[in-house]
Amino acid sequence: FTDATQENMQDMFDVFVEHGESVLCVGSTYRASNGRLFAVADVSVGVQDLAPAHGGAPRDSVMVLNDMLVGACCAFRIPAAASSGEESISFVTTLSLVGRRLLNNMTQVLSFTVVVGCQLSLVSLLGIATPVALEPGLPPGDAAFIFALLQCSVALALIVTPASSQLSRTMPFKQSSTLPQDSLDDTRQRARFYLSHALPTAILAVVLHLWIFVLVFRGSDSGLCDSRSTGWGVLTCRALVDHFGHEDVVAARDTASLFTSSFLVASLVFQSASFLYRTQPITRDSPMGNLPWVIAVATALCVQTAMFVARAQWNLVDRVSWAPWTLILVWPPLLLALSEQVKVKDGKGVARSMTFLRLDFDTRLGMHSPR
């Protein structure tokens, strides 16, 4: 590296950029020829005046102007090291790790946002496809409330997730997405997630909605359907459509929607624990290390509980047997366990990708090094 010329370093920059990688350039603003390299790199850090001042004299206006011109393309300019050692070039290492952590966290935030939206949409689509008299699922207002609640609390808290214990040993997520094999692995990961998480949760949400509706409606004395009818007979009763605005029908639908909303909020909140890290299991990097996430999860659950208590008609809730309550309490932890099992396979795939990336990086660096 010490024998590298401006032309050789420029060639190495071009090779890395052509392969879709991010180039970080760190250099002295004292050397005017570094200005061209600073302009080419994706992120540049200019270190002011690494060379000692002549005779210990203070920096004059010419040197200050030179630093400003050479470092014009730099994202950061580190002042000259003080005698007390308060400023250090190790700031660059800290900056790199913080940037990588924020990149990974923002990726997980966007992934969780997509999951919440797709989960709510899937419940609505399955409700439309269900061959019953009244369409099951969430009212638009409840779906919008759940999305806003989770985005304003849980999703935003994912941004401040502490660094993973493997952060310094892996390449940035941006680089792995440039490889065709990794793109295929990401597609497989999403397919596994939706088949093992989103689809079963949406099916159970629709089943729970119909289940609660039948339990509550059969306990009323509306006379719209035969009291001896089975659950499926109640769901396919045409009288429900003809008397859609009947108070017993509306009360049963509202109660079913409350239970379904609570089920989805609990399931998505538990899933968010698995989104703190892309492949690291929660047994290695505990989600309890992210205090804002813990507060956000507690807030989301408390808000949903308060909404349930405020809207519920307790004489109707008493008609619900213990089985639906058991489903609401058992499925979210089970869903988290499934998420961790899926992440085990994903972790192995990421480890293979990291090994290949490192080998590819070393090979190209050796091919285009000055010597």
Residues near 132 by Cβ (< 8 Å), separated by ≥ 6?
210, 235, 236
Q: Tell me, yes or no, whether 114 and 70 share the same domain.
A: no
Query: Do residues 28 and 50 touch, judged by C-beta distance below 8 A?
Result: yes
Query: What pLDDT shows up at residue 330?
Result: 92
Q: Tell me, yes or no, whether 80 and 103 share the same domain.
A: no
Query: What pLDDT shows up at residue 190?
Result: 67
Q: Tell me, yes or no, whether 192 and 316 share the same domain.
A: yes
Q: Tell me, yes or no, whether 21 and 160 share the same domain.
A: no
Confirm whether 92 is domain-assigned.
Answer: no
Handedness of CA 305, 309, 311, 312 (dihedral sign): positive
Q: Tell me, yes or no, whether 55 and 136 share the same domain.
A: no
Sequence-ordered strand ranges (E) for 179-222: none
Q: Tell me, yes or no, whether 259 and 339 share the same domain.
A: yes
Q: Identify the residue with better confidence: 218 or 317.
A: 317
CA angle at residue 359 from 354 to 364, to 5 degrees?
A: 125
Both structure tokens of 133: 């008299």
Confirm whether 285 is domain-assigned.
Answer: yes
Confirm whether 174 is domain-assigned.
Answer: no
Per-residue pLDDT tens over the stretch 166-207: 665 555 544 444 444 444 456 666 676 677 777 888 889 888
Q: How many domains does the chain have?
A: 2
For 115-129, 154-168, 237-251, which range has the lowest pLDDT when averaged over its residues? 237-251
Q: Tell me, yes or no, whether 106 and 60 share the same domain.
A: no
Q: Tell me, yes or no, whether 57 and 206 share the same domain.
A: no
Residues near 157 by Cβ (< 8 Å), separated by ≥ 6?
290, 292, 293, 295, 296, 297
Q: Tell me, yes or no, whether 163 and 243 share the same domain.
A: yes
Looking at 29, 60, 84, the residue that finishes a domain is 84
Q: Tell me, yes or no, whether 195 and 227 share the same domain.
A: yes
Per-residue pLDDT tens over the stretch 257-290: 889 999 999 999 988 888 887 777 788 778 888 8
CA distance 220 to 235: 15
Confirm whether 89 is domain-assigned.
Answer: no
Query: What pLDDT shows up at residue 189?
Result: 65
Sorting pLDDT into bands at 50, 70 and 90, what band is 221? low
Span 203-217, average pLDDT: 84
Looking at 31, 61, 84, the residue that finishes a domain is 84
> What's the predicted TM-score (pTM) here?
0.69
Confirm whether 141 is domain-assigned.
Answer: yes
Confirm whether 200 is domain-assigned.
Answer: yes
Span 221-240, average pLDDT: 60
Domain extent, residue 66, equals 6-84
CATH of the domain at 213: 1.20.1110.10
Sorting pLDDT into bands at 50, 70 and 90, what band is 302? very high
Looking at 43, 60, 84, the residue that finishes a domain is 84
Confirm whether 127 is domain-assigned.
Answer: yes
Residues near 140 by Cβ (< 8 Å), separated by ≥ 6?
none
Confirm whether 90 is domain-assigned.
Answer: no
Both structure tokens of 136: 């099951």
Sorting pLDDT into bands at 50, 70 and 90, what band is 245? low
Both structure tokens of 57: 């004299």
Both structure tokens of 58: 């203070």
Phi, psi of 46 (to 5 degrees): -100, 125
Alpha-carbon Rg for the chain, nearest whole angstrom, is 29
Q: Tell me, yes or no, whether 79 and 103 share the same domain.
A: no
Confidence check: pLDDT of 339 > 70: yes
Query: What pLDDT shows up at residue 231?
Result: 58
Query: What pLDDT shows up at residue 237?
Result: 65
Percentage of the chain modeled with pLDDT above 70: 71
Span 73-77, average pLDDT: 69
Q: How far is CA 117 from CA 202, 260, 264, in A?
A: 12, 16, 12
Average pLDDT, rounded, for the chain: 76
Q: Tell me, yes or no, whether 71 and 136 share the same domain.
A: no
